[in-house]
Amino acid sequence: MTPELEDSLVQDFPDIFRDWHGDAAHTCMAWGVSCPAAWEPAIRAACQEITAQVRRVNLQHPTLGFCVIADQIKEKFGTLRFYWHSECLLWTTSDGVLPEHQAAVDQAHHCIDGAVAVAERITSLVCADCGTPNSRPEIAQAWGNCCVTCDALRRTDTERRIQELDRRVANVQAAKQQADHTA
């Protein structure tokens, strides 16, 4: 993710990204959002739904202080992983929130789980490089899905890197042979 897109998410959803660049001993958000920039719209949509659910719960129960915090947002096995937890400022029983608040919190958790699942699914269907829908899922790679154009670019780049490595190996071998002949 580009720093500009990440900054925009943090500015637009400061409560969700409360732990962004926090202490690595306490949060995986210390490393920021670790995924392709093309997934920003899916992450943003999930954050919008999270914000709506938090707002709904806090309107129903103003003293509850319900909030959702991102624990980690990353790419794993070519798709988005969005880990989160919720907190309530009003903890009045040893088991958590009061029973009358629990239904609202449970409903919010269900909706948030759904929004995150949709975002994660979307990232499996779009090109990780440019964000266009992946019309050829057979191109899906362990490092992410890509469209036909980006797949060709990746292959060209890989071939160029292999040729560069081959050239370096040949130079090292030639230098070694020359050193052996002069010794």
CA 42: distance to chain centroid? Answer: 9
Mark residue 144 as left, alpha or beta (left: phi above 0; alpha: psi -120 to 50; beta: remaining): left
Q: Please state the rounded mean pLDDT for residues 37-58.
A: 96
Gap between the Cα atoms of 116 and 133, Å rounded: 19
Instruction: Say what the pLDDT of residue 28 is.
Output: 93
The string of pLDDT tens digits covering residues 115-150 is 999 999 988 888 888 888 875 555 555 556 777 788
Report how far apart the first and last C-alpha atoms of the chain are (Å, whole number). Answer: 52
The string of pLDDT tens digits covering residues 27-36 is 999 999 999 9
Distances (CA, A) of 146 to 44, 48, 120: 21, 26, 15
User: Containing H/E element for 133?
Assistant: none
Q: Which amino acid is at 6?
A: E
Does the pLDDT at position 151 exceed 90? no
Where do the structural domains in the chain lie, given as residue ranges? 3-139, 147-183
